[in-house]
A and B are shown apart, each in its own frame.
Chain A
Amino acid sequence: MLTINLFNGLVYGALLIVMCSGLALIYGLRRVVNFAHGSLYMLGAYLGYSISLHSNFWVALVAAPAIMALFGVLLDRYGFRLLQDRDPLTVVLVTFGLLLVIEDLVQTTWGKSNLSVPVPEALAFSVDLFGTPVPAYRLSVIVIGLLVALGLSLWLRFSKVGLFVRAASTDPVTTSMQGVNTDFLSAGVVGLGTALAGLAGVVAAPFLSLSPSMSADVIIDSFVVVVIGGLGSLAGAFIAALVLGMVQAIGAVYLPDAAVLLPFVFMIGILIWKPSGFAGSRT
């Protein structure tokens, strides 16, 4: 019982890692908290649903994030870039407006009823984990989460573009004076962040049902993760995502009635202790 719950906590934590790394990347470069990130996740999930209906899940896994990446680049070019001199809260409110538009768009296109995506056949079996059978698909979600975390960390740490991204996150003006095209870089990073939201959506589709309320649930948890991890910090977000997934999983076993409130209690506890989060020096 506990093993399977801890396992599910890890699965949810991995999903949050994919979500929150997108949020943190966009915040790092554009100083924008994207309130529409949950809606982009939902859009990715529904796109994945439609694509896998017409071809299969694996095509959707590549195509939906690719479409979202394009959307992200356009969002940066015709949204964030034009608003970069405005107050951060202004841009936040713009993303809030975008959220409303996307939610309506999804409801109009795919309807209000719950939809589901079948688990791809290649992964429709169980794996034995410490004597408990667990679905292979969920195990691969954990793998995807860890790959995203590892890939992003290595990319930011060791590649030249990663160096530019880190530099631009710290000081965009000086970075562009050194000859880095920060507008181009930002468009790429916002595209990547949006693609990650789309990826999270596609990956979540086979084990969470698709409904117009799916964005609200995940964005709340993502915000909790990003705030307690420290805004803009990837490592902080990774740790916070896994811890939050675990807290919810353990709560579901021992305190089923209060499981909804646990993230709240957890967050308040962390914030009393450290107002700017685990890794929060860059708020």
Chain B
Amino acid sequence: MSLKKSSLGAVVALGLGAVVALSVSSSTLLSLFTQSIIYAVFALGVGVLLKQNGMVSFGHALFFGGASYLLGILLQLQLVSAELAIFLTLLAVTAAAFLIGLVIVRVPGVAFGMLTLAIGQMFFLTASRARGVTGGADGMNIDWPSRLFGFPMSQMLKPATMFLVCWSTLVVVVFLLAWLMRTRFGGITEAVRDNEERARFIGITTLLPRAAVYALSAMVTSVAGVLSAMNTGFVSPESMHWSLSGVALMMVVVGGFKALWGPAVGAVVYFMFKDILGEHATHWMTIFGMALIAVIVFSPTGVAGLFDRWVLGKKPSIKVGGH
């Protein structure tokens, strides 16, 4: 897809969001949409890591909940304006992820996934025990100021506005990622993913690009964390729990990671599914566990893969990851 074509797509998508925000009057439906879009951004982050780096993260909730917490703490301290706090949060999460990445991306394959899980869970435990800073297991409220980016906060929190904000963010993130993948950075990271040794032979330092992809994926996920902090005005250790990382990963697998937009589709499918289940949701873990196994065994490329096969008539290629 050329840049012109994807810009056009982005503009159309933004317009579509505006139409939905104006025409859907049910606020329950709009908040369901908003929630699934926030998780779509979350899953995009996990998907980028898998797509560009061939690595599976089982601990991305760290960056989701971590961003919400950091923002909440910054807003509580009231040292900087809310706008600057959002910027600082994204920056800090990305920088922290880059440093963690420098150490853990050197660990090959599956062991990397195990490490992400371990690191995520340790921060989850820290957050649930540090009562003084994070409110412990009870969570913390996020004190938003009365105005954000010049708009009154009460206006921002209306379901239709919130939906539009989240949808536009999703579209912009997908567009920026699509653009980034076409730059030299995209090329280098793909080369490193496909064959790290050969990439090294042609003179590419392989550690930095891989740590950078890890940081990038953390940044995308932290955007979702900020959106969630805005949407719910609350954060609890649950948002850092590894089961949430697992859910995000499930969205990526179900949606298909080969396409950039696959994870976002997975998130929407997940929330639709969960809403339809409704009453039976107490057993959602069993149902999603089985769904995950079924998708991986029978359609490893997910919904995006089915789309390629049925609509575009492409041949399937079964391979997860790059190792």
Contacts and interface: CB of A to CB of B under 8 A. Distances in A.
Nearest to B125: A260
Given A98-B293, A220-B117, A227-B115, A275 B106 contact: yes
In terms of DSSP, what is the predominant structure of the interface of chain B? helix
Contact of B296 (A90, A105, A261, A276): A90
Given A90-B296, A100-B289, A227 B111 contact: yes
B283 A104 contact: yes
A264 B118 contact: yes
Given A97-B292, A216-B242, A276 B122 contact: no
Nearest to B121: A220
A276 B108 contact: yes
Interface in A261-283: 261, 263-264, 267-268, 271-272, 275-277, 283
B200 interface: no
B297 A220 contact: no
Contacts of A101: 285-286, 289-290
Contact of B118 (A33, A100, A267): A267
B306 interface: no
Contacts of A87: 318-321
A123 to B, nearest CB: 31
B115 A276 contact: no
In terms of DSSP, what is the predominant structure of the interface of chain A? helix
A90 B289 CA distance: 14
Interface in A102-123: 103-105, 108
Greatest chain B CB density within 10 A among A93, A216, A231, A276 is at A93
Contacts of B111: 33, 226-227, 231, 277, 283
B289 A104 contact: yes
A260 to B, nearest CB: 5
A88 B129 CA distance: 35
Contact of A276 (B107, B113, B290): B107
B288 interface: yes
A106 B121 CA distance: 21
Interface residues of B, number: 43
B110 interface: yes
Contacts of B109: 88-89, 283
A268 B100 CA distance: 9
Interface string B289-305: 11111001100100000
Contact of A267 (B110, B115, B300, B320): B115
A93 B249 contact: yes
Interface string B113-132: 11101110110011001000
Interface in A198-242: 216, 219-220, 223-224, 226-227, 231
Nearest to B242: A216
B104 A271 contact: yes
A89 B126 contact: no
A152 B88 CA distance: 52
A139 interface: no
A71 interface: no
Contacts of A226: 111, 114
B292 A271 contact: no
B253 interface: yes
B122 A93 contact: no
19 contacts: A33-B110, A89-B109, A90-B320, A92-B110, A93-B253, A93-B296, A93-B320, A97-B290, A97-B291, A101-B286, A104-B289, A220-B121, A220-B122, A227-B114, A271-B107, A272-B103, A275-B106, A283-B107, A283-B111
Which 6 pairs between the two chains have the least Cβ-Cβ distance? A100-B289, A104-B285, A97-B292, A101-B289, A97-B293, A223-B114
